[in-house]
Amino acid sequence: MTVNILAIESSCDETSASVISDGKVLNNIIATQSVHEKYGGVVPELASRAHQQHLIPVVHEAITNAGISKSELSAVGFTRGPGLMGALLVGGSFAKSFAFSLDLPLIEVNHMEAHILAHFIEDPRPSFPFICLTVSGGHTQLVLVRDYLDMEVIGETLDDAVGEAFDKTAKLLGLPYPGGPFLDRLAQEGDPKAFDFPVSSMKELNFSFSGIKTAVLYFLREKLREDAHFVENRKADICASVQHALIEMLLIKLKKAVKTFGITEVAIAGGVSANRGLRDALSVLSQRLGWNVYIPRLEYCTDNAAMIAMAAHFKYEKGIFCPLDVSPLAKMKIGIHE
């Protein structure tokens, strides 16, 4: 019999649903204007309430698009945490009532583990053990992955996430928020060695990204005093130099992790993996150091339900289910399974 799992993601801004069938992701529906047009609504921004308005349309779309009926589902997976409590509650409550009414088993998923398991949605897939660098607007983590459900955080940011550092330095340069992608685009035309920004050195495998924001602020202030048009005239060079420093900080720790654990299977997860500068630097490193680098398609890197479905699939195979009274967790650690 085919195992069909419905998965729901609602940890932050994105409302998403996905159906996975015998381990193959059939779809990955993320609330967008087009999904909403069918139901006569509009996409509100950011609000937790938005999840309530999005959820039924995206779930309906995922099930219909998969060409199955609700009675053919075998389980329901959902993001239990970490995330914004109000947002998690909406997805979690829906998943629980849906599972209860159809008498289906429920599977809780850790959002951060799911980001890593997104690597198993399609080929090429990394082989165990591997090191995963998860980089997004909210997270920067190095994780040692021994098996689908056996992971350990070996390093993380002690202040800002790297995506936030991109966005905030971009803001200082007058780019719109979130400015990471704009900064990346401008950086392609600039000289990464034009200016020197400090590369923070943290203990062990941890990161710190709050200092560079201040460094850029002081740098710009000083330069603007000499030349009022400094930012306009050198924007591409500033972007390239900031980007270079941020990527350097990521790669120093990634190289250290590879060396410490003697593992050359390297996976990148999270939305910042779309950054061109990071991708180029990784491709150079992988050739020079003989790493195998894996980066999922962007659709599976940003917040999405397909990765939740993938994680739910591995838990289903092991028979790991959760009771209907589980509560969402705003804080949820990787590798700790209750």
Binding site for another protein (CB under 8 A): 12, 45-50, 82-87, 136-138, 156-161, 163-164, 167-168, 171-172, 177-178, 210, 213-214, 217-218, 330-331
Q: How far is the CB of 213 from another protein (least distance, A)?
A: 6
Tell me whether residue 171 or residue 256 sits nearer to another protein (CB atom): 171
Place of tokens 């053990």: 129
Between the two ends of the chain, the Cα-to-Cα distance in Å is 29
Tell me whether residue 322 or residue 332 sits nearer to another protein (CB atom): 332
Q: Is 112 exposed, middle or buried (0-12, 13-18, 19+ CB in 10 A)?
A: buried
Closest alpha carbon to 207 in 163, 265, 253: 253
Q: How far is the CB of 255 from another protein (least distance, A)?
A: 23
CA–CA distance, 289 with 295 (Å, rounded to integer): 17
Q: Check residue 225 and give left, alpha or beta (phi > 0: left; psi -120 to 50: alpha).
A: alpha
Q: How far is the CB of 275 from another protein (least distance, A)?
A: 16
Place of tokens 């779930």: 59
Residue 262's φ and ψ, nearest 5 degrees, are: 60, 35
Q: How far is the CB of 312 from another protein (least distance, A)?
A: 23
Place of tokens 């060079």: 237
Q: How far is the CB of 159 from another protein (least distance, A)?
A: 5
Q: What does the block give as tokens for 306?
A: 């397909």
Tell me whether residue 152 or residue 280 sits nearer to another protein (CB atom): 152
CA atoms 64, 65, 67, 69: torsion sign:
negative
Torsion angle of C-alpha atoms 189, 194, 195, 197, degrees rounded to 10:
60
Q: How far is the CB of 318 from another protein (least distance, A)?
A: 29
Q: How far is the CB of 22 from another protein (least distance, A)?
A: 34
Tell me whether residue 23 or residue 178 sits nearer to another protein (CB atom): 178
Contact 165, 212 (CB under 8 A): yes
Tell me whether residue 21 or residue 136 sits nearer to another protein (CB atom): 136
CA atoms 80, 84, 87, 93: torsion sign:
positive
Tell me whether residue 70 or residue 223 sits nearer to another protein (CB atom): 223
Q: Return the CA Rg of the chain.
A: 21
Tell me whether residue 192 or residue 270 sits nearer to another protein (CB atom): 270
CA atoms 118, 123, 124, 127: torsion sign:
positive
Tell me whether residue 27 or residue 141 sits nearer to another protein (CB atom): 141
Q: How far is the CB of 304 from another protein (least distance, A)?
A: 16
CA–CA distance, 327 with 45 (Å, rounded to integer): 25
